[in-house]
Structure 1
Amino acid sequence: MKVTESTSLYDNLEQMNLLDLLRNINKEDKKVPLAVEKVIPEISALVEEIVPRMEKGGRLIYIGAGTSGRLGVLDASECPPTYGVPFDMVLGLIAGGDTAIRRAVENAEDDPEQAWNDILGYGFNDQDTVVGIAASGTTPYVIGGVRTAKANGLLTGSITCNPDSPLSQEAAHAIEVVVGPEFVTGSTRMKAGTAQKLVLNMISTSVMIKMGRVKGNKMVDMQLSNKKLVQRGTRMIMEATGLDEHTANQLLLSEGSVRKATEYFYKKQN
Structure 2
Amino acid sequence: MSSDSPSLRAIISELESLTTESMLVDRADLDTLATRDLVDAMNLEDARVPAAVAAAGDDIARAVDGIADRLRRGGRLIYLGAGTAGRVGVLDASECPPTFGTSPDLVVGLVAGGPGAIQTAVEGAEDDPDGSAADFDRLAVGPMDVVVGISASGRTPYVTGALDRARARGALAISVAANADSVISRHADVAIETVVGPEFVSGSTRLKAGTAQKLVLNMLSTLSMIKLGKTYHGVMVDLQATNEKLHARSVRTVATITGCDYATAADALTAVGGGVKPAILTILTGMPPADTTAALDDAQGILRVAIGKAQAR
TM-score range, shorter chain: over 0.9
> 73, 81, 103: which one pairs with 1:56?
73
Match of 2:265? 248
Cα distance per residue 1:226-257 (max 9 Å; x no partner): 21211111111112333322232233244222
Q: Distance in 2 between matches of 1:116 and 1:145?
A: 8
> 282, 288, 292: which one pairs with 1:264?
282
1:105-116 pair list within 5 angstroms? 105-116=122-133
Q: Distance in 2 between matches of 1:189 and 1:218?
A: 31
Q: Distance in 1 between matches of 2:232 and 2:261?
A: 21
Bigger Rg, which one:
2
Matched, 1:150 2:162: no
**Do the aligned residues in 2 keep the contact of 1:66 with 1:95 (CA within 8 Å)?**
yes
Match of 1:213? 230
Match of 1:8? 24
What letter is aligned with 2:20?
Answer: T
**Most deviating of 260-269 and 231-240:** 260-269
Query: Gapped runs of 5+ residues in structure 2?
Result: 1-15, 290-309
Q: Distance in 1 between matches of 2:131 and 2:270?
A: 43
3-state DSSP class of the match of 1:114? Answer: coil
What letter is aligned with 2:37?
Answer: D
| Residue 105 of structure 1, CA deviation | 1.7
| Residue 125 of structure 1, CA deviation | 2.9
3-state DSSP class of the match of 1:156? Answer: strand
**Most deviating of 223-232 and 129-138:** 223-232
1:1-270 pair list within 5 angstroms? 1=16, 2-9=18-25, 10-254=27-271, 255-265=273-283, 266=285, 267-268=287-288
3-state DSSP class of the match of 2:36? Answer: helix
- For the aligned residue pairs, the C-alpha RMSD in angstroms reads 1.5
What letter is aligned with 2:276?
Answer: V
Q: Distance in 2 between matches of 1:32 and 1:153?
A: 33
Q: Distance in 1 between matches of 2:67 and 2:123?
A: 33
**Most deviating of 61-70 and 3-12:** 3-12
Q: Distance in 2 between matches of 1:73 and 1:253?
A: 33
Cα distance per residue 1:75-127 (max 9 Å; x no partner): 11111110001111111101111111111124111111121321221223311
**Most deviating of 42-51 and 253-262:** 253-262
**Do the aligned residues in 2 keep the contact of 1:116 with 1:149 (CA within 8 Å)?**
no
Higher relative contact order (CA 8 A, sep 6+): 1
TM norm structure 1: 0.96
| Residue 43 of structure 1, CA deviation | 0.6
Once the two structures are aligned, what percentage of the paired residues are identical?
49
Q: Distance in 2 between matches of 1:96 and 1:251?
A: 47
**Do the aligned residues in 2 keep the contact of 1:32 with 1:194 (CA within 8 Å)?**
yes
Query: Gapped runs of 5+ residues in structure 1?
Result: none
What letter is aligned with 2:24?
Answer: S
Q: Distance in 1 between matches of 2:139 and 2:267?
A: 38
Q: Distance in 2 between matches of 1:161 and 1:106?
A: 19
**Do the aligned residues in 2 keep the contact of 1:62 with 1:92 (CA within 8 Å)?**
yes
**Most deviating of 108-117 and 152-161:** 108-117
Q: Distance in 2 between matches of 1:8 and 1:88?
A: 41
Cα distance per residue 1:28-75 (max 9 Å; x no partner): 011000111111001111112221111111111111010000000001
3-state DSSP class of the match of 2:139? Answer: coil
What letter is aligned with 2:203?
Answer: G
**Do the aligned residues in 2 keep the contact of 1:161 with 1:179 (CA within 8 Å)?**
yes
| Residue 164 of structure 1, CA deviation | 1.2
| Residue 221 of structure 1, CA deviation | 0.6
**Do the aligned residues in 2 keep the contact of 1:134 with 1:160 (CA within 8 Å)?**
yes
